A and B are shown apart, each in its own frame.
Chain A
């Protein structure tokens, strides 16, 4: 016969952080809606184009811009291209760039922040001074500068965006690592003769997981937004490749005569940002109820 305390212990200690967070996330209604919505949009962009009997490239000049109809649900642009397919294909690029650039940011930011936070002292001061200097400029300006330097292909755009988005990640990771570095289990590992690389990988990194996951989720919509802004300005992905930024730009130019060219891509784009932000907020509440603050 277990006492009440024992029962409580038995029921709590078996739950890992991940599982606990997952349950909390599922309990959050907005996060659930956001997650479902995003999965739906992503899936639609991924497999949708195979089921639509139009190509995103084939132009039908004679056909021209047509309002939404049963054959073209979202209408066509002035070159006769189907907007539905173009929106879905554009979504692939936008979401793909969003994830790829976030991964670049994640990798650089975590390694950089961990090294700075772990070693401390002059190394940290120099490393963070560099980050602060880059922070003096808005990310959009840095990315525009980089696109001037690198050119305007998709690959380079996501590299450029990844090259600025890691800054915030590095700051967060550095702060956390600094706090962890003072913990006794790190001292124990050092005394035990573990090499630094092992300490970072086995003792520091796992403890960084929750802030890193939360921030990663919030970075993805930020990256998608940044890519779209750059593409909208004509400095990003170049036509005929399309991303949501490009489609919205084309729609904005023609909005007085062909409003559907703007409405549908804009709708998909806004819903995605909206959904991802809710998932990020939900994850933040689930993994990290207090710190990290707003934004």
Chain B
């Protein structure tokens, strides 16, 4: 167990190094420096700015400086948000994104799992089609279609929520639903097929045979095994929630890391883009490790894999 954690942490190092180097090279290849857009800057000022940000150094020196800074957890200054360091921006905006993502994941699990389990228990009955029809709808409505529709219905027509912002608890509802619905639907499908597979197994028949009520069989015996695919999906889901946050935060004007990332990509703020990508990579590796640990805790059979 500890060995696995250690091994995974060691494996993460080359991955992060490759990503850091790749982003560095990509940004170097990007035509035009970060300060080229401003007009009418005297040569000397331009040179001073470049010197201030270390852009006048030879490439390899910039690279080593870059790596050394990253190791210290220093992501350098943002080129566009003058006076701000990238780590300060991340520290400010990430908690917002984290809150959004965790709520969305929570909604996805608490809505998706029961729907999938129920659908499996009602297999081949009309109620199954209704439940899975809902799931299919959730899968085919991407966030950038769903979000505006929700705003149109619940903010414009019904006036229940603010159309954007992130101040009151009510402001959380629409973004969380927008982000979480796809995952709720996907988890419902996974839970359904997991449950269908499990209910066919011998030990479930045994549980039925010894006279247990259906509820006890499902809750105490089937559910844990049926949810393995759902837990395994949590890793990809976290990566997906991060991509989803770009869209949702843009739609609802939420000051999270996602909207900063999109803006910095738009403005070609290279330190900000590189820093955020690296931060996301660390985050995803961390969550994948966490998901593996949960999986090992739930399913003893995965404990002895390599």
A270 touching B144 by the CB < 8 A rule?
A: no
Please provide the chain A residues from 239 to 256 with a CB less than 8 Å away from any CB of chain B in the complex: 245, 248-249, 251-252, 255-256
Q: Is the interface of A mostly helix, strand, loop or mixed?
A: helix
Q: Which residue of A lies closest to B141 (CB)?
A: A270
Asked if A262 contacts B148 (CB within 8 A), the reply is: yes
Binds B, one of A8-16, A77-85, A104-112, A230-238: A230-238
Question: Which of B52-60, B78-86, B216-224, B261-269 forms part of the interface with chain A?
Answer: B261-269
Q: Judge whether B229 is part of the interface by a CB distance below 8 angstroms.
A: yes
- Whether a CB of chain A sits under 8 angstroms from the CB of B121 is no
**Cβ-defined partner of B142 (8 Å) among A149, A225, A235, A252:** A225
Interface string of B27-46 (1 = CB under 8 A from A): 10111000000000000000
Known: A141-B243, A294-B229. A148 touches B189 (CB 8 A): no
Task: Tell me which residues across on chain A come within 8 A of B142, comparing CB atoms.
Answer: 225, 228-229, 270, 273
Q: Which of B15, B140, B262 has the most CB of A within 10 A?
A: B140
Within 8 Å CB of A266, what residues of B? 145, 148-149
Residues of B261-306 at the interface with A, using a CB-CB cut-off of 8 Å, are: 261-262, 265-266, 268, 270, 273, 277, 280-281, 284-285
Is the C-beta of B50 less than 8 angstroms from some C-beta in chain A? no
CA distance A147 to B30 in the complex (A): 10
Closest to A269 in B: B145
Interface residue? B227 (CB, 8 A) = no
Question: A193 in the interface, Cβ–Cβ < 8 Å?
Answer: no
With beta carbons under 8 angstroms apart, the residue of A144, A233, A270, A294 that contacts B145 is A270
Most buried by A among B145, B147, B266, B285: B145
Number of residue pairs A-B, CB distance < 8 angstroms:
112
**Complex: chain A residue closest to B25, CB-CB:** A149
Q: Which residue from A136, A245, A273 sits with its C-beta under 8 Å from B15?
A: A136
Q: Which residue from chain B places its CB closest to the CB of A278 in the assembled complex?
A: B136
Q: Which residues of A contact B240 (CB under 8 A)?
A: 138
Do A235 and B277 touch across chains, with their CB atoms under 8 A apart? no
Q: Is A291 an interface residue (CB 8 A)?
A: no
Contact A149 B30 (CB under 8 A): yes
Q: A277 an interface residue at 8 Å Cβ cutoff?
A: yes
A161 to B: closest C-beta gap in Å: 13
Q: Is B117 an interface residue (CB 8 A)?
A: no
User: What residues of chain A lie closer than 8 Å to B250, measured between beta carbons?
Assistant: 232-233
Q: Please give me the residue from chain A that is nearest to B250 by CB atom.
A: A233
Q: Say whether A52 faces chain B, with CB atoms less than 8 Å apart.
A: no
- Minimum CB–CB distance from A222 to chain B (whole Å) comes to 11
Residue-wise, chain A 143-157 has the 8 Å CB interface mask toward B (1 for contact) of 011111101000000
Q: Which residues of A contact B266 (CB under 8 A)?
A: 233-235
Q: Which residues of A contact B26 (CB under 8 A)?
A: 145-146, 148-149
Once the chains are docked, how many angstroms separate the CA of A232 from the CA of B247? 8
Interface status of B193 (Cβ within 8 A of chain A): yes
**B190 contacts chain A at the CB level, 8 A cutoff:** yes
Q: Is the CB of B148 within 8 A of A255?
A: yes
Verify B281–A136 contact, CB threshold 8 A.
Answer: yes
B262 CB → nearest A CB, Å = 5
Q: How far is the CA of A123 from the CA of B233 in the complex (A)?
A: 30
A289→B154 CA distance, assembly (Å): 42
A149-B262 contact given A141-B280, A232-B247, CB 8 Å threshold? no
Q: Which of B121-158 contact A (CB under 8 A)?
A: 136, 139-142, 144-145, 147-149, 151-152, 156
Shortest Cβ distance from B136 into A: residue: A274
Chain B residues whose C-beta falls within 8 Å of the C-beta of A207 in the assembled complex: none
Question: B51 contacts the other chain (Cβ, under 8 Å)?
Answer: no
Q: Which residues of B contact A141 (CB under 8 A)?
A: 242-243, 277, 280
Q: Is A133 within 8 A of B148, CB to CB?
A: no
A-B contact list, 18 entries, CB within 8 Å: A132-B15, A133-B15, A137-B280, A138-B243, A138-B284, A144-B261, A144-B265, A145-B26, A149-B27, A229-B142, A233-B247, A234-B266, A251-B148, A252-B251, A256-B156, A270-B145, A277-B139, A294-B193
- 8 more CB-based (< 8 A) A-B contacts, given A136-B19, A138-B242, A229-B142: A137-B239, A138-B240, A141-B280, A145-B23, A146-B26, A229-B144, A235-B262, A270-B140
